[in-house]
Amino acid sequence: MEWWKKSIVYQIYPMSFKDSDGDGTGDIGGIIEKVDYLKELGVDVIWLTPVYESPMDDNGYDISNYYRINPLFGTMEQLEELLEKLHDRRMKLIMDLVVNHTSDEHEWFKAARADKNSKYHDYYIWKDSPVTDQQSFFSGSVWEYNEETNEYYYHLFSKRQPDLNWSNREVREEVYKLINWWLDKGIDGFRMDVIDLIGKIPEESVMVSEKSHTYLQEMYRNCFAGRDVFTVGETPFSTPETAPLYSAKERRELSMVFGFEHLGLDEIRGNGKWDLKKMEVNELKRVFETWQKALHEKGWNSLFWSNHDQPRIVSRIGNDTVYRKESAKMLAMILHGMQGTPYIYQGEEIGMTNVRFPLEDYRDIETINMVKEKQEAGWSMEKIMEGIYAKARDNARTPIQWDDSEHAGFTDGTPWLKVNPNYKEINVKRTLQETDSIFAFYQKLIQIRKEYDVITTGDFELLCGEDERIFAYVRRSGNEKLYVIANFTDKMVDCGNCSSLSFMEGECLLGNYEPEKGKDNLLLRPYECRMYAVGF
C-alpha cells in the first residue's frame, strides 16, 4: 500500500505559523522550532504553502522565481535544514506547486510584456482585444491591457498573476524541469495549486478540458514515474465523476485531488462564496457519501475541512462559543473516520476560530477587491461585513496562538495580520496542559487510523440518512466494522428511532464526552460523537 494512504498531512501557512526573527511574519526558522510539536501531534507529512521568491501580491501564490526562497521566509539552507529534521523524525515534506500562473515580476513575464517577438511572449496568453466577458476569481475582467505590446493578457486570479500558456511545449518543459529540481533536492511531493485549470480554453471561457489530463499524464511521465512521491491536486472544478480520472492509479496522473463540493453548501448556488445560506446537514452527508463511494477502489479522497482559503470549520458549521471543544472534536471524528488522506490545517488541532476585525484590519486581496465590487453592486456594508466575518480567507490566516503572552507568542514584533483576541483562552500552551484537549483528541484519532486498517480499506455506508440531527456511518471490511455517530446539534438527541445503531453494544474506542454510567447510551449530548469497533 502506498505510504500516503496511511498518512496524516498537516498544512502550514508559513506567514502565520511562527516568526523566528521578530519581523512579524512567520518563517522557516519558526517552523524548525516547532517540528517536535508536529511530531507530538502524530502527523506524518507537512505541506508547506509557497515560500518561493514572490512580490507577495497574493501571499506567495504569485511566484517570481521557482528556484529561490523568499528572504521574508528565510534561506534555502533553512529549508534544507527543515527537510533534514523532518526526515530524521520519519516525517515528510511536500511543497506547493503553483504553475497555472506566475507573478507579473517573473523574468518570463517581464520579457513577454516588453516584446512581442520574445520567445517568452508565447509563455502567456495574449489577445488583441478581450475576446470574452469572463470575470476573474478576484473580481474584474480576466483580460488586462498591456501598453508595451498593445495587447491583453489573460489572468484568472489577480492581474499580477498572468496565466501560463500550457499549450506551449516550452512552458511545460520549464515546469517539468523545476519539479525535478525540487524532487532531486529530496522533497516528498507536491500540492498542486488549481491544477485542473491548466487545460483551460480562454477563447471559450472553458475552465477545464481533456487537455488538463493530457498535460498531467505528460507531467507524470517526465517527473513522477519511478519516484516514491505523493501528489495532490487542487481541482476546484472536479466532481465525484471526474475525480477518479485524476487519481485512479492506472491513469498515472495524481495521487489524489481536493474536491470542494462539501464546502459550497453554505453558499447560494450560482451566486459565489459571499452569498450565504445555512448549511443543511443532510446535504453534507449526501455529498460525503457520494465522494466516498465514487472513489472507493477507483481513486483516492483528500479529507479536509479547512485550509488557508477557507474559514475556520468550528466557526463555520460547529459552535465556536458554548460548545467549541465538543463541536471541534465532533467535526474531527466525522472526517478522520472516512476513507482518504486527512489534512489538518494549522490551528485546527487547538480549535482556533474565525475573527471579527474592523474592515481596515483585513489584509487579503480577495476581500479588498470584494468590498469594492459589492459596494458598486449596491450591497450594504452590513451585508458585506457579514460575508467577510463568515468567509474571508483572513479567518484562516490569523497567527497561530502559541501562548497567552503578547501577540500569542507568534512574534516579538508587530504581526503582519492581527492575532485573534481570544488567544488568552485558546492557545497551544494551555491546550497541552489539558488532558481532554482538542489536540489530545486528534492524537487519539490519528492513533486509531494507524491501528484500524478498515479505515484505510473498508467500504462506506451512511446510517440514519434522513435524520438531520445525526451524522452516522459505518466502515466495513469483512466482519470488521467501525461506526461513527455524531450529534450535529446543540440539543440532546435520542437515537432510539434509528434502527441501524444497534452497534452501540460494541467497544467505544473514542468519544468527546465522559460515558454516562447507568444512562441510556442512545441519548447523545450536544455535539457528542462516538466511535465504535465491532468484530475485531
Do 147 and 273 lie in one domain? The reply is no
pLDDT category, 237, cuts 50, 70, 90?
very high
Lowest mean pLDDT among 36-50, 403-417, 447-461, 503-517: 503-517
Do 83 and 214 lie in one domain? The reply is yes
Q: Would 226 be classed as within a structural domain?
A: yes
Question: Tell me, what's the pLDDT at 504?
Answer: 65
Q: What is the CATH number of the domain that holds 7?
A: 3.20.20.80
Do 231 and 328 lie in one domain? The reply is yes
Do 310 and 200 lie in one domain? The reply is yes
Q: Would 177 be classed as within a structural domain?
A: yes
Number of domains in the chain: 3
Do 7 and 40 lie in one domain? The reply is yes
Indicate whether 349 pLDDT > 70. yes
For 141-176, the pLDDT digits (tens) are: 999 999 999 999 999 999 999 999 999 999 999 999
pLDDT category, 466, cuts 50, 70, 90?
confident
- Give the C-alpha separation, 166 to 100, whole Å: 8
Q: Would 381 be classed as within a structural domain?
A: no
Contacts of 507-512 with C-beta under 8 Å, sequence gap 24+, read 507/532, 507/533, 507/534, 507/536, 508/532, 509/448, 509/482, 509/533, 510/333, 510/441, 510/444, 510/445, 510/448, 512/325, 512/326, 512/329, 512/330, 512/333, 512/441
For 267-301, the pLDDT digits (tens) are: 888 777 888 899 999 999 999 999 999 999 999 99
- Domain boundary (383, 411, 439) is at 439
Compute the C-alpha angle 357/362/367, nearest 5°: 115
Q: What is the CATH number of the domain that holds 510?
A: 2.60.40.1180
Q: What is the CATH number of the domain that holds 143?
A: 3.90.400.10
Indicate whether 247 pLDDT > 60. yes
Question: Tell me, what's the pLDDT at 518?
Answer: 45
* Mean pLDDT, residues 70-79: 99
Do 232 and 325 lie in one domain? The reply is yes
Q: Would 423 be classed as within a structural domain?
A: yes
Do 203 and 84 lie in one domain? The reply is yes
Do 185 and 277 lie in one domain? The reply is yes
Q: Would 449 be classed as within a structural domain?
A: no
Do 96 and 26 lie in one domain? The reply is yes
Question: Tell me, what's the pLDDT at 180?
Answer: 99
Give 415 or 1, the one with higher predicted confidence: 415
Q: Would 387 be classed as within a structural domain?
A: no
Question: Tell me, what's the pLDDT at 271?
Answer: 75
Q: Would 376 be classed as within a structural domain?
A: no
Do 96 and 112 lie in one domain? The reply is no
For 106-128, the pLDDT digits (tens) are: 999 999 999 999 999 999 999 99
Lowest mean pLDDT among 16-25, 202-211, 262-271, 313-322: 262-271
DSSP code per residue over 112-143: HHH-TTSGGGGGB-EESS----PBPTTSSBSE
Compute the C-alpha angle 54/57/60, nearest 5°: 45
Q: What share of the chain has pLDDT > 90, as a percent?
A: 90
Can you give the residue range of the structural domain that contains 467? 457-534
Do 120 and 93 lie in one domain? The reply is no
- Give the C-alpha separation, 502 to 499, whole Å: 7
- Domain boundary (378, 404, 439) is at 439
Do 354 and 431 lie in one domain? The reply is yes
Lowest mean pLDDT among 423-427, 434-438, 466-470, 499-503: 499-503
Contact at 8 Å (CB) between 19 and 411?
yes
For 219-232, the pLDDT digits (tens) are: 999 999 999 999 99
Q: Would 305 be classed as within a structural domain?
A: yes
Predicted model pTM: 0.96
Question: Tell me, what's the pLDDT at 502?
Answer: 65
Cell of 497: 428511532
Question: Tell me, what's the pLDDT at 488?
Answer: 97
pLDDT category, 495, cuts 50, 70, 90?
confident
Indicate whether 517 pLDDT > 50. yes
For 198-219, the pLDDT digits (tens) are: 999 999 999 999 999 999 999 9
Could you tell me the CA-to-CA distances from 35 to 83, 126, 178 in Å, in that order? 10, 45, 27
Residues involved in catalysis: 193, 234
